[in-house]
Amino acid sequence: MSARGPAGAGPAAIQLSRIMRPDDANIAGNVHGGTILKMIEEAGAIISTRHCNSQSGEHCVAALARVERTDFLSPMCIGEVAHVSAEITYTSKHSVEVQVNVLSENILTGAKRVTNWATLWYVPLSLKNVDKVLEVPPIQYAWKELEEDGKKRYEEQKLERLVTKQRNGDIIFPVFNPEPYTVGYSQSSLIHLVGPSDCTLHGFVHGGVTMKLMDEVAGIVAARHCKTNIVTASVDAINFHEKIKKGCVITISGRMTFTSNKSMEIEVFVDADPFVDEPKERYRAVSAFFTYVSLSKEGKPVPVPQLVIETEDEKRRFEDGKGRYLQTKAKRQVQMQPLTQQ
């Protein structure tokens, strides 16, 4: 890890670097999206925790609250070095916005390319009382417009978190003898006992650990549906609704919600069962939508088998997914317009 000079008058940015190993990748040699997400979260947690403890007062650790939409612009391969850079771009009274960029380096040729960028939101939790959210030291902005833009992003994500929490009652039930290409055919679950190595100083699960497990389940769903090599294309906003404590058993469940010609949207839930000294009932801790693409043996995108809809609920989720797909496509076209006009 290395630290760079401050951007404007804000806190110093940091960079994490690590070579990608075989256990970071799938059978085709493409690095798992969950591996990248875990590195992104580690960088964000370090810089936000460091900043929140930069003034004298009660010590704290920054907990991940939300990850905005993250696009995987280019696959990363075994043997390449991932350089993850994080910088704080906005602070409210009780939250920190961190911008993260990921570069992939071929250490044989020196060639580098951008593979990801992401926005994460953290809240500082007291080391003495995990339910106590502390105040965040403010940063200084080079221009007033930067603060105003950050405040707009803060209000938007706050509203979206409330909307997501309201629709969080869905449960994925097992389906017996499902037909190929149906939702039930590819839906998958993974059960994981939360141990000490998964947790922060508080004894709660690292956000990066949770995201990695979610990506694994989403990848299984996509592979079952396509029966080809698949890679993560993007992750919609990931909302961390409640903390997951050490000793919990978590169930990560995924199901196909939408398919276009070349992509698949997979909804992933994380439910927690507190078994150790906890009277609390099972609860929904995290939710997100992952998008995958299907690749040929040569690494080229290939058509995705269309999802077979069987129920009204599946039809509703398909239409919702189609709306998200078209909205993302429209945003991407708007972003590309300035580039094509140059």
pLDDT in tens, 218-268: 999 999 999 999 999 999 989 999 999 999 999 999 999 999 999 999 999
The pTM score is: 0.88
Q: Which of 26, 71, 168, 273 is catalytic?
A: 26
Q: Which helix (H) or strand (E) element contains residue 211? A: helix 207-226
- Whole-number Å distance between alpha carbons of 158 and 66: 10
Q: How far is CA 303 from CA 40, 127, 231, 259, in A?
A: 30, 50, 14, 10
Per-residue pLDDT of the chain (342 residues; tens, 9 = 90+): 444 434 444 467 899 999 999 999 988 899 999 999 999 999 999 999 999 999 888 999 999 999 998 999 998 999 999 999 999 999 999 999 999 999 999 999 999 999 999 999 999 999 998 889 999 999 999 999 999 999 999 999 988 877 666 556 677 778 888 999 999 999 999 999 999 999 987 889 999 999 999 999 999 999 999 999 999 999 998 999 999 999 999 999 999 999 999 999 999 999 999 876 666 789 999 999 999 999 998 888 999 999 999 999 999 999 999 999 999 888 877 766 654 555
Active site residue 26: yes
- Whole-number Å distance between alpha carbons of 47 and 210: 19
Among residues 246, 219, 320, 239, the alpha carbon closest in space to that of 284 is found at 239
Q: Which of 215, 236, 239, 271 is catalytic?
A: 215
- Whole-number Å distance between alpha carbons of 32 and 28: 10
Count of CA atoms in the C-beta half-sphere (13 A) of 244? 33
Residues in the chain: 342
